[in-house]
């Protein structure tokens, strides 16, 4: 079929590294480009399905893996823009295209002729064992699972209903995310007087002042719902009334009557997912989702969460007593509320560890922490990152790097988008514009990977200073980025982060460990004004304070994971109102009211802006078992950059993608399966041996 090359999305991209031609693209280009790319993909599918030769791996599985690249190119660009730099026009296109793309996905996965060929090969996989490489067998198994889990084996009537469900879910999840962004963008807590800013250290004043200027305010300071604004404000503001206002706005996103209300949207999503699961003969969506994970089912997830829940509650109770004592020492008699916890915790930390954020932040300039992440990647994996300032992408804040391997050859492209803005969704994430694969045995398709953060930007001419938690987030997302950049597989289906959901957080969480290494801190954590290396005494304080407030943090995370699991384990045909359900579930499990939870259901984008983490928020804890145990391999070697351990880490964790079964990949790296003890010690939930 002919392609309209007048549309910049459809022309060959003769840009550096094949990056999208951002300056030539407008929102109006996407829908006509999608129309042609979808038609081309369907035509490619028909050719594969209509092949009169008997199905082979190459003429069926490899052909499926190669097809649809134009569509994928457009989709990757579109979804990255709607997440990182959206607009009303893009959001309107996103809303219109969501059901269209869902319908196309259903047509692909339910194509009878195509699935018949894949199913026939899958049935013969043992007989084909000698003819298939380990990766090829894994690719065959994954494609077969994809088709089955998307409804390929359902009867015609069930497939029709299944496609309707997926189309409706696409609309709802798109609206959910747009509603959260709308609430985040609309909120403004303006600090006009010195009294409004009471207690705020200079670094918080600087970032809130810059936020005000970015929003067109000539005076005052502005607290937005960006985490890098809210958390420092809650930690330092002496104005309890303003802390309450900020907290309520932060935690009630998506819970306001009107066009951005997510309560009924979340409820309908849960009901539709339940119906989706029943069509697959599962009792509930949690059973359906967990069937394709390392955990395998609810029992393993519940066992892990329970292992930390009771110790975390006990630890949080101890912490709460310390906060109450701190309040009394200040002459304040009050009932501790959720907007008080971080404030008094910061006071306790200052007294107990002689450590406060204002002392730490000057050593954690964003530029230094980026250099630290790059340096660790070089020492572990031989990578170098060469900035390309001449390449302009979708926003001036985004930096582009050419990534080179130890031999000097280019292995990929890395984009770093670090700052919060009103056109960008909250949180931090890794994505890609193109995944690594090999067209044949010699030609590698280079990955184009992007990390998004939402740090509060420093004033013009001033550095952006990070908290230690912010720096950990940067390292976390960079770990995901390395997972995409170091991928070394043939088939795109198993490339990079295309792994089981409870394995995908291992490379990211594991990479966080290097930030805490004293030799990394001494090299890169330098005072932004003097250049002085972080003092040993401050490193020691950071180390001793590492487990401080971990009861609070663990309770908040685990409560969110338990509520997620409970919501997706509902088996009835009707779903209760989500706010009431959340409240009742938190009461049932005995969650401390003063701690709150990481994400409430009305803005829980992990669950409701897509299905990737639905019945899957537990995966961070699952991966923490792996990452704590995995980093111990370097501890046992006596060197955080031990070359032999780093080589195994690259080969079996970062480079293998989904070409190996994840438990086998971990055993190949570690020499055995994981143990839970290191994770519990890491969180301070059991005493060190």
Cα 649 to Cα 237, 270, 483: the distances in Å are: 43, 38, 11
What is the rounded average pLDDT of the residues 556-585? 96
Calculate mean pLDDT across residues 47-61: 98
Q: Specify the pLDDT at position 5.
A: 76
Q: What is the pTM of this model?
A: 0.95
Are 621 and 629 within 8 A, CB to CB?
Answer: no
Q: Enumerate the active-site residues.
A: 477
Tokens encoding 520: 């990394």
Q: What is the pLDDT of residue 684?
A: 84
| Cα–Cα dist 244/342, whole Å | 12
Mean pLDDT of 179-199: 96
Residues in the chain: 689
Q: In the predicted model, what is the mean pLDDT of the chain?
A: 96
**Residue-level pLDDT at 358:** 86
- In this prediction, residue 1 has a pLDDT band, given cuts at 50, 70 and 90, of low
Residue-wise pLDDT tens digits, 387-406: 999 999 999 999 999 999 99
Residue 569 burial (CB count, 10 A): 18
pLDDT band at 657 (very low <50, low <70, confident <90, very high): very high
The candidate with the shortest Cα–Cα distance to 33, out of 88, 76, 67, is 76
User: What class is the 363-544+621-682 domain?
Assistant: mainly alpha
Residue range 288-293: mean pLDDT, rounded: 98
pLDDT of the residue at 551: 95
pLDDT per position as a tens digit, 142-158:
999 999 999 999 999 99
d(CA 575, CA 567): 9
Taking phi first (over 0 means left), then psi (-120 to 50 degrees means alpha), and beta for anything else, what does residue 199 get?
left
In this structure, the strands spanning 189-191 and 221-223 are antiparallel
The closest of 432, 411, 451, 450 to 492, measured between CA atoms, is 432
User: What's the rounded Cα separation, in Å, for the pair 264 and 284?
Assistant: 19
Which residues in the chain are classed under CATH 1.20.1050? 16-153
**pLDDT tens digits for range 224-278:** 999 999 999 999 999 999 999 999 999 999 999 999 999 999 999 999 999 999 9
CATH code for the structural domain at 263-355+549-617: 1.10.1370.10
pLDDT tens for residues 345-373?
A: 999 999 999 988 889 999 999 999 999 99
Tokens of 452: 């998004």
Residues of the chain with CATH 1.10.1370.10: 263-355+549-617
pLDDT digits (tens, 9 = 90+) for 503-539: 999 999 999 999 999 999 999 999 999 999 999 999 9
- CA distance linking residue 382 with residue 240, whole number of Å: 50
- Residue 687 clears pLDDT 70, i.e. is over it: no
C-alpha atoms less than 13 angstroms from C-alpha of 409 in its C-beta half-sphere: 5
Give the containing element (helix H, strand E) for 404. Answer: strand 399-404
Ordered DSSP codes for 416-447: EEEE--TTS-SS-EEEEEE--EESSSSPEEPP
pLDDT at 314: 96
How large is the average pLDDT for residues 646-668?
A: 97
Structure tokens at 407: 């031999």
Return the CATH class of domain 16-153. Answer: mainly alpha
How far is the C-alpha of 461 from the C-alpha of 569, rounded, in Å? 51
Print burial letters for 627-646: b (CB count within 10 Å at least 16), e (below 16).
bbbbbbbbeeeeebbbeebb
Q: Is the pLDDT of residue 689 over 70?
A: no
Q: Which band of pLDDT confidence, cut at 50, 70 and 90, is reported for residue 688?
A: low
Closest CA to 453 of 434, 465, 468, 471: 471
Position 200 pLDDT exceeds 80: yes
| Residues 7 and 33 sit within 8 Å (Cβ to Cβ) | yes
What is the share, in percent, of the chain residues with pLDDT greater than 90?
A: 93
Mean pLDDT of 601-622: 97
């Amino acid at each position: 079929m002919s392609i309209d090359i007048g549309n910049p999305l459809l022309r060959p991209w003769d840009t550096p590294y094949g990056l999208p031609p951002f300056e030539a693209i407008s929102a109006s280009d996407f829908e006509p480009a999608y129309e042609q790319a979808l038609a081309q993909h369907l035509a490619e599918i028909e050719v594969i399905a209509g092949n009169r030769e008997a199905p082979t791996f190459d003429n069926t599985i490899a052909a499926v893996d190669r097809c649809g690249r134009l569509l994928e190119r457009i989709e990757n660009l579109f979804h990255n823009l709607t997440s990182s730099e959206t607009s009303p026009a893009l959001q309107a296109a996103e809303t219109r295209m969501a059901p269209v793309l869902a319908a196309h996905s259903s047509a692909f996965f339910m194509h009878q002729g195509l699935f018949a060929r894949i199913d026939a090969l899958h049935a013969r996989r043992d007989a084909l064992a000698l003819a298939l490489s380990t990766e090829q067998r894994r690719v065959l198994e994954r494609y077969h699972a994809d088709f089955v889990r998307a409804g390929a084996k359902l009867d015609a009537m069930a497939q029709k209903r299944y496609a309707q469900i997926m189309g409706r879910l696409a609309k709802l999840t798109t609206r959910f995310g747009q509603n959260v962004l709308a609430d985040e963008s609309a909120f403004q807590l303006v600090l006009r007087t010195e009294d409004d800013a009471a207690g705020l250290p200079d670094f918080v004043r600087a970032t809130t002042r810059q936020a005000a200027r970015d929003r067109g305010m000539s005076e005052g300071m502005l607290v937005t719902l960006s985490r890098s604004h809210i958390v420092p404000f809650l930690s330092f503001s002496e104005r309890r009334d303003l802390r309450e206002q900020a907290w309520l706005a932060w935690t009630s996103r998506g819970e306001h009557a009107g066009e951005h209300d997510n309560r009924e949207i979340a409820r309908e999503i849960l009901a539709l997912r339940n119906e989706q699961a029943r069509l697959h003969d599962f009792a509930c969506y949690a059973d359906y989702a967990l069937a394709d994970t390392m955990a395998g089912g609810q029992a393993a997830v519940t066992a892990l969460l329970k292992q930390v829940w009771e110790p975390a509650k006990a630890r949080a109770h101890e912490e709460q007593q310390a906060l109450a004592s701190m309040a009394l020492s200040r002459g304040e008699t009050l009932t501790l509320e959720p907007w008080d916890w971080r404030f008094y915790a910061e006071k306790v930390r200052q007294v107990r560890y002689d450590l406060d954020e204002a002392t730490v932040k000057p050593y954690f300039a964003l530029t230094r922490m980026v250099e630290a992440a790059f340096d660790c990647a070089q020492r572990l994996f031989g990578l170098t990152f060469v900035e390309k300032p001449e390449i302009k992408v979708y926003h001036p804040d985004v930096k582009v790097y050419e990534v080179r391997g130890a031999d000097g050859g280019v292995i990929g492209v890395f984009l770093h988008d670090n700052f919060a803005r009103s056109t960008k969704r909250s949180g931090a994430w890794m994505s890609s514009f193109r995944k690594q694969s090999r067209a044949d045995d010699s030609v590698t398709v280079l990955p184009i990977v992007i990390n998004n953060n939402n740090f509060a930007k420093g004033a013009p001419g001033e550095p952006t200073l990070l908290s230690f938690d912010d720096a950990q987030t940067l390292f976390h997302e960079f770990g995901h980025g390395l997972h995409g950049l170091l991928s070394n597989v043939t088939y795109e289906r198993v490339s990079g982060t295309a792994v089981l959901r409870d394995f995908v957080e291992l490379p990211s969480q594991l990479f966080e460990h290097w930030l805490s290494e004293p030799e990394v801190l001494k090299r890169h954590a330098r005072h932004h004004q003097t250049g002085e290396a972080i003092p040993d005494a401050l490193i020691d304080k950071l180390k001793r304070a590492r487990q401080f407030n971990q009861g609070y943090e663990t309770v908040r995370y685990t409560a969110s994971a338990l509520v997620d699991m409970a919501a997706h384990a509902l088996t009835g045909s009707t779903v209760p109102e989500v706010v009431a359900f959340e409240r009742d579930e938190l009461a049932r499990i005995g969650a401390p009211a003063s701690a709150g939870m990481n994400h409430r259901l009305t803005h829980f984008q992990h669950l409701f802006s897509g299905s990737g983490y639905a019945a899957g928020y537990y995966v961070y804890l699952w991966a923490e078992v792996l990452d704590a145990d995995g980093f111990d391999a370097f501890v046992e070697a006596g060197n955080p950059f031990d070359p032999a351990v780093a080589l195994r880490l690259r080969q079996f964790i970062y480079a293998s993608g989904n070409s190996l079964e994840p438990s086998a990949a971990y055993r190949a790296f570690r020499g055995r399966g994981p143990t839970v003890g290191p994770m519990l010690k890491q969180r301070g939930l059991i005493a060190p041996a």
